[in-house]
Structures are given as structure tokens and as C-alpha cells.
């Protein structure tokens, strides 16, 4: 169990007892399996690919006619797989060596073989220096769910995570651009995100619950282990919050876009954003069913769209979630254009059902 999950369990406000249910993470039923396309990376082996998707090597050969005459695979080759589990896709990134790094450390960080790391960087000397740039084909895996809340049924599982419950009574009053916060709840510190400024990290009970549980789900589904920074939510009592036009009623949350490992500090280049992780973060919010809008600058949506497709999302699914490729002034998708949102997403969480004084614009 990772430290972030230990932290999450420690914040549960109602007593629950967890019980083992590891098999819930990778159900082996026909209804849970789906077809995916895998893009082979340099030095990858059939055995690696089979293990990654929870299938047998013989199945890979059966599903791909090209392998039936020649089992040798090459970088860039596409394989169709009827996957039992679908991990985040492998990505080619440039990693900048940090002081104290070793080849073994870097290989472990990205879940790759040390020999493969050398193969991808044949011109880099064995005794590299801090600042050296390395090519890495990341190998993220989907962490297994280890626990389930007691009382969750087979039909309605809890998804393997204990739920976080915020102190009740924090209410969002009025609209996001003309409202306030009553008995606000401060976002607690944690191992799964960083609170940039606790003084402006106040929200409604409902919004804080949705935020914490969604980030926990994102960490589990994506396997992303980098920093995730939560910025402005609201002031303690809400109200006008310059330079923001909204953020007044404890339902708007700014979250910095996740960066790829080794990204230069302070870089604003889209090349240093982990777009696959960003997609998993947005999908986690969408799956919560508790979000009104997510704002992201339109040109950045192209990168998000491409990452979502590489992660297996269908065009039909993305039509409901991302404004792109429709025009930036269209009334389409959960993710909408907002000028200036290039380094962060702005998430607007829905009013709680019982909060009758909360309103949209």
C-alpha cells in the first residue's frame, strides 16, 4: 500500500473496515475485456507486451496475422490486443539527469530494464553527468486495487478505495462569480497532492470531498507519481478573489498540469506537460459525475485529445468530454476553452444536491 493511500485511509470520517479483494482490480470476465492497439517501442519483447495487458504470448500471435509467419517485432509496429487490463500507454520522453542519479535509479523510476535504457542512449557515456538528456520509453502500469470498503457489493463496488469525507456544513452560497462560502472546509495537506497556498484553499464540504477522492482515483488509475499542485479554490469566507472572476463560492479549483519527469523547473512549454496523465486526471473528474466544466486553453486541447486517443479513448467518448476538434466557441464538451488556462486546468464542481442556496451563473 502506497503512502498516499495510507494517508487517505487515515482521513476517513466514518468507521469502515477494509477487506482484501485484489482480484477486483483486473477482472478476468469477457465483459471487462476490450480491444486496444499497442505501439511497439524499441527493444520491447512479445513477452513484455503480453504481461502488460494480462494475456498470453500465444494469444498475441493468434490476434495478429503478421506474427503467425514472423514472431519478430519492430519499433512502430501496431498490435491488436484483447486486453484483460489496460495500463497507461508508454511514452517517449526526454529525461534530464539529476544530481545523484544512476542508470539503475532511472530505470527503476520508469519501470524499464537498465539494459534497454542503455540501448536507447547508446551515445551517452556510462559515467554521465547531471544535466545529461536521456531518451526514455516510459512503462507505466496500472496499480492493482488492494482493498474494498466493507459493505460494497459485487454489483456496486467501491472501486477499491476508502472514501474521504470532509467535515459537513461547508456550504456554497450563490454563483461562482458572485457568491460566498459558509463554514468553509480547508483542503487538508497530503502525500497525493501539494497545496500551493492553504489560505486560498477553502471550499464547500462537497467540493473538497470530490476533489480529494478524484485525485486519489487519478493516482490509482494512472500510476502517475509526479507532483500534482492544487492552486486557488476560495478564500475562507469566499467572496471576491482577485485576479479571478470566479472562485467566490468554494467550487472552483485550479490544478497545475502534471509535468513529465525531468521537466525543467518553471518551464511553460507544452512539450514538458504529461498529456497522458492530464487525460487521466480529466477522465477521473468526468467519471465522478460531479463536475460542471473543466477549462483549458483551446490550443492545448489538441494535445489532450491526442493523448486521450493514445490511451484508448474513442472519438464518441471524446465528443462528450473535450471541445476540440469542434470550434473553440462551440457549446461542446466538458472541457471548454478559457483564455490563459495554458499551465493549469480550472475545475468547476457541481453544487451539492442538498445545497439549495448554491447556483450556477
- Is beta strand 133-137 parallel, antiparallel or unpaired with respect to 147-149? unpaired
Contact criterion met (CB below 8 Å) for 281 and 222: yes
Residues 117 and 252 in one domain: no
Residue 306 lies in domain: 147-349
- How many angstroms separate the CA atoms of 74 and 79, rounded? 11
Q: Is residue 245 part of a domain?
A: yes
Q: Is residue 157 part of a domain?
A: yes
Q: Is the pLDDT of residue 219 over 80?
A: yes
pLDDT at residue 180, rounded to an integer: 96
Q: Is residue 259 part of a domain?
A: yes
Residues 161 and 280 in one domain: yes
Residues 127 and 38 in one domain: no
- Measured CA angle at 216 (ends 348, 322), to 5 deg: 40
Residues 101 and 77 in one domain: no
pLDDT at residue 149, rounded to an integer: 28
Residues 202 and 247 in one domain: yes
Q: Is the pLDDT of residue 171 over 90?
A: yes
Domains in the chain: how many in total? Answer: 3
Give per-residue pLDDT as tens, 291-327: 999 999 999 999 999 999 888 888 999 999 999 999 9
Give per-residue pLDDT as tens, 32-84: 688 889 999 999 999 889 888 888 888 999 999 999 888 789 999 999 999 88
Residues 78 and 98 in one domain: no
Residues 204 and 333 in one domain: yes
Residue 81 CA from chain centroid, whole number: 23
Can you give the length of the chain in residues?
361
Q: Is residue 1 part of a domain?
A: no
CATH of the domain at 106: 3.10.350.10
Q: How confident is the model at residue 12 (pLDDT cuts 50, 70, 90)?
A: very low
Boundary-marking domain end, from 74, 109, 137: 137
Give per-residue pLDDT as tens, 149-167: 222 333 333 345 568 888 8
- How many angstroms separate the CA atoms of 142 and 328, rounded? 33
- How many angstroms separate the CA atoms of 21 and 116, rounded? 34
Q: Is the pLDDT of residue 3 over 70?
A: no
Residues 253 and 113 in one domain: no
Q: Is the pLDDT of residue 18 over 80?
A: no
- How many angstroms separate the CA atoms of 81 and 57, rounded? 11
Q: Is the pLDDT of residue 108 over 50?
A: yes
Boundary-marking domain end, from 100, 117, 137: 137
User: What residues pair up with 254 in beta bridges, in sequence order?
Assistant: 346
Residues 51 and 98 in one domain: no
Residues 79 and 151 in one domain: no
Considering only the C-alpha atoms of the chain, give the largest distance between any 2 of them, rounded to a whole number of Å: 69
Cell of residue 292, nine digits: 460542471
Task: Show the 3-state SS of the chain.
Answer: CCHHHHHHHHCCCCCCCEEECHHHCCCCCHHHCEEEEEECCCCCCHHHHHHHHCCCHHHHHHHCHHHHHCCCCCCCCEEEEEECCCCCCCCEEEEECCCCCCHHHHHHHCCCCHHHHHHHCCCCCCCCCCCCEEEEECCCCCCCCCEEECCCCCCCCCCCCCCCCCCCCCEEEEECCEEEEECCEECCCCCCCEECCHHHCEECHHHHHHHHHHHHHHHHHHCCCCCCEECCCCCCCECCCCCCCCCCCCCEEEEECCECCCCCCCCCCHHHECHHHHHHHHHHHHHHCCEEEEECCHHHHHHHHHHHHHCCCCHHHHHHHECCCCCCCCCCCCEECCCCCCCEEEEEECCCCCCCCECCC
- How many angstroms separate the CA atoms of 191 and 223, rounded? 14
Residues 34 and 57 in one domain: yes
pLDDT at residue 116, rounded to an integer: 94
Give per-residue pLDDT as tens, 241-260: 999 989 999 999 999 999 98
Contact criterion met (CB below 8 Å) for 339 and 348: no
Q: Is residue 354 part of a domain?
A: no
Q: Is residue 356 part of a domain?
A: no
CATH of the domain at 159: 3.30.1380.10
Q: How confident is the model at residue 21 (pLDDT cuts 50, 70, 90)?
A: very low
Phi and psi (nearest 5°) for 97? -60, 130
Q: Is the pLDDT of residue 15 over 50?
A: no
Does pTM surpass 0.85? Answer: no
Q: How confident is the model at residue 204 (pLDDT cuts 50, 70, 90)?
A: very high
Contact criterion met (CB below 8 Å) for 4 and 190: yes
Cell of residue 115, nine digits: 539494459
Q: Is residue 70 part of a domain?
A: yes
Q: Is residue 40 part of a domain?
A: yes
Phi and psi (nearest 5°) for 197? -150, 105
Residues 286 and 313 in one domain: yes
Amino acid at each position: 500500500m502506497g503512502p498516499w493511500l495510507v494517508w487517505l485511509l487515515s482521513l476517513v470520517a466514518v468507521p469502515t473496515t477494509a477487506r482484501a479483494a485484489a482480484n477486483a482490480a483486473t477482472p478476468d470476465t469477457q465483459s471487462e475485456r476490450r480491444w486496444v492497439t499497442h505501439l511497439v517501442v524499441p527493444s520491447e519483447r512479445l513477452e513484455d507486451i503480453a504481461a502488460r495487458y494480462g494475456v498470453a504470448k500465444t494469444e498475441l500471435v493468434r490476434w495478429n496475422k503478421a506474427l503467425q509467419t514472423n514472431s519478430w517485432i519492430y519499433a512502430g509496429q501496431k498490435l491488436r490486443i484483447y486486453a484483460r487490463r489496460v495500463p497507461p500507454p508508454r511514452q517517449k520522453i526526454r529525461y534530464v539527469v539529476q544530481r545523484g542519479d544512476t542508470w539503475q535509479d532511472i530505470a527503476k523510476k520508469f519501470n524499464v530494464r537498465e539494459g534497454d535504457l542503455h540501448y536507447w542512449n547508446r551515445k551517452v557515456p556510462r559515467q554521465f553527468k547531471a544535466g545529461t538528456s536521456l531518451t526514455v520509453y516510459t512503462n507505466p502500469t496500472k496499480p492493482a486495487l488492494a482493498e474494498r470498503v466493507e459493505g460494497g457489493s459485487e454489483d456496486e463496488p467501491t472501486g477499491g478505495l476508502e472514501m474521504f469525507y470532509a467535515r459537513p456544513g461547508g456550504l456554497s452560497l450563490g454563483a461562482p462569480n458572485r457568491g460566498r462560502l459558509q463554514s468553509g472546509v480547508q483542503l487538508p495537506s497530503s502525500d497525493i497532492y501539494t497545496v500551493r497556498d492553504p489560505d486560498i484553499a477553502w471550499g464547500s464540504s462537497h467540493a473538497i470531498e470530490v476533489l480529494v477522492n478524484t485525485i486519489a482515483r487519478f493516482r490509482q488509475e494512472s500510476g502517475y507519481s509526479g507532483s500534482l499542485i492544487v492552486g486557488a479554490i476560495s478564500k475562507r469566507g469566499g467572496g471576491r478573489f482577485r485576479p479571478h472572476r470566479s472562485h467566490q463560492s468554494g467550487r472552483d479549483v485550479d490544478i497545475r498540469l502534471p509535468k513529465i519527469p525531468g521537466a525543467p523547473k518553471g518551464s511553460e512549454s507544452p512539450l514538458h506537460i504529461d498529456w497522458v496523465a492530464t487525460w487521466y486526471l480529466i477522465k477521473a473528474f468526468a467519471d465522478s459525475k460531479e463536475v460542471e466544466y473543466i477549462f483549458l486553453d483551446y490550443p492545448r486541447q489538441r494535445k489532450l485529445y491526442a493523448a486521450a486517443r493514445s490511451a484508448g479513448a474513442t472519438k464518441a467518448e471524446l465528443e462528450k468530454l473535450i471541445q476540440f476538434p469542434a470550434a473553440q466557441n462551440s457549446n461542446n464538451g466538458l472541457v471548454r476553452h478559457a483564455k490563459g488556462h495554458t499551465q493549469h486546468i480550472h475545475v468547476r464542481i457541481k453544487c451539492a444536491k442538498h445545497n439549495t442556496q448554491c447556483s450556477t451563473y
